[in-house]
Amino acid sequence: ETGVTQSPTHLIKTRGQQVTLRCSSQSGHNTVSWYQQALGQGPQFIFQYYREEENGRGNFPPRFSGLQFPNYSSELNVNALELDDSALYLCASSLEQGWWETQYFGPGTRLLVL
């Protein structure tokens, strides 16, 4: 086990709704990244937070937003859900933000948008 937990494990929403996904990083890990993994695809980088500040963003619209808290927890918020948002959402934590840092992934939250 990586020590990274995510909640909920599964979630069903309807188009247009808003959703909040949660992640608890390993204690002491200052960096958290969020990835979207569509069925049968590799994870796609959404954004990264370092010490509570956004520190890089992938090709995702502004309706994807996040927060990182001092207690090593973080949130991914998605507004105005679309059918294509259905995916497994993964968070990954690492000690610092360097490229050499090992990222520890949580088990993910599977979101289904109807």
Partner 1 sequence: QQQVKQSPQSLIVQKGGISIINCAYENTAFDYFPWYQQFPGKGPALLIAIRPDVSEKKEGRFTISFNKSAKQFSLHIMDSQPGDSATYFCAASNEASGSRLTFGEGTQLTVNP
- Given the rule CB under 8 A, which residues bind partner 1? 2, 4, 31, 33, 35, 40-45, 48, 55-56, 58, 90, 92, 94, 96-103, 105-108
Cα 26 from Cα 112, distance rounded (Å): 27
* Cβ at position 16, least distance to partner 1 in Å: 28
Q: Cβ 2 to partner 1, closest distance in Å?
A: 7
- Find the shortest distance in angstroms from Cβ 106 to partner 1: 5
How do strand 109-113 and strand 10-13 relate by DSSP bridges? parallel
Q: Are 45 and 58 in contact (CB under 8 A)?
A: yes
Looking at beta carbons only, is 35 or 64 nearer to partner 1? 35
Shorter beta-carbon distance to partner 1: residue 31 or 74:
31
**Inter-residue contact 72 to 27 (CB < 8 Å):** yes
Q: Using CA of residue 96, residue 86, residue 44, residue 63, what is the dihedral sign? A: negative
Comparison of 9 and 18: residue with beta carbon closer to partner 1: 9
